[in-house]
Amino acid sequence: MVDLREAVSYYVFSKQAVIDDVREVIRWPLTMLLNHLIFPRRSWYAAAARGTIINAANGRACVALVYKGVEVSSYRELRLGKDSVIEEGTTIQGALTLGDLAVIGRRVSIEGPVTLGYGSSIREGCVAISHTTLEDWVGISSNVHFITFTHDIGDITRRVGKIKFKPILVRSGTWIGTRTTVLPGVTIGVGCVVGAGSLVTKDIPDNSLAIGRPAQVIRKLGPGPGGGLPPELEKSWRWEKW
């Protein structure tokens, strides 16, 4: 049963409760202004203007693309790299850091702190929970879930015990296939490929092909023909060219 006296005392005497309420009152009008009134279109120009305003508010001087319909709990916690992209329908709670050329696709759910490195991309329908880090040139297909929280097993009255977080790290150059789930505390090495529909429960060493539920390494990968953008394109890359 809820103790009404405790609830009332929290809202009457808690400074944090007042701060949270004020933030909510401010956040939604700001979101509406950025998404629907000031720049209502889904054009490159509107997205660039929106991203520039967000970066300017955070003391940065580079253009990022933030498309219409992105919901953000705190614009002050966004760190957007040059020509990074956040597409429509994405929800962001907490801190998000994007490197240059990083891309977040449609309807992605972010609960920060989450970091994407240079040139990394995370596609439609993905979920990334706090303390998820993707290094440079990581490619994440659609509907991949990064789950960093777990809990102890409680007693008979409440089996969900104390909540705790175990960070996930995906090293540079890795590609993760669609509908993969990565569990708490996992590190996926450099240059790996994780097959579609996998369940990653333990660390994967560098340059490995892993697949299955749970994911198992089935072979090592060679250096391959190379990837990413050629150096001459990296210097002049702009999204309006595509």
Containing domain of residue 77, as a range?
17-223
Tell me the pTM: 0.77
Neighbours of 219 (CB within 10 A): 10
Answer yes or no: is 187 within a domain. yes
Answer yes or no: is 238 within a domain. no
Phi, psi for residue 121 in degrees, rounded to 5:
-140, 145
Task: Supply the CATH number for residue 21's domain.
Answer: 2.160.10.10
Domain tally, the chain: 1
Answer yes or no: is 2 within a domain. no
Structure tokens at 10: 């929290």
Residues 6+ apart with CB under 8 A from 167: 131, 132, 133, 148, 185
Cα separation, 111 vs 140, whole angstroms: 17
Answer yes or no: is 114 within a domain. yes
Phi, psi for residue 228 in degrees, rounded to 5:
75, -165
Q: Spell out, as residue ranges, where the chain has pLDDT lower than 50.
A: 1-2, 233, 237-242
**Preceding omega of 29 cis (within 30 degrees of 0):** no
Structure tokens at 131: 């303390």
Residues 6+ apart with CB under 8 A from 28: none
Query: 216-225 long-range contacts, Cβ below 8 Å, gap at least 24?
Result: 221/191, 221/192, 221/193
Cα separation of the two ends of the chain: 58
Answer yes or no: is 176 within a domain. yes
Instruction: Specify whether the CB–CB gap between 177 and 141 falls below 8 A.
Output: yes
User: Is 36 marked active-site?
Assistant: no
Structure tokens at 85: 């992209």
Confidence at residue 107, expressed as pLDDT on a 0 to 100 scale: 92
- In tens, the pLDDT along 166-187 reads 899 999 889 999 999 999 999 9
Answer yes or no: is 229 within a domain. no
Q: What angle do CA 82, 75, 128 make, to 5 degrees?
A: 75
- In tens, the pLDDT along 188-226 reads 999 899 999 999 999 999 899 999 999 999 988 877 665
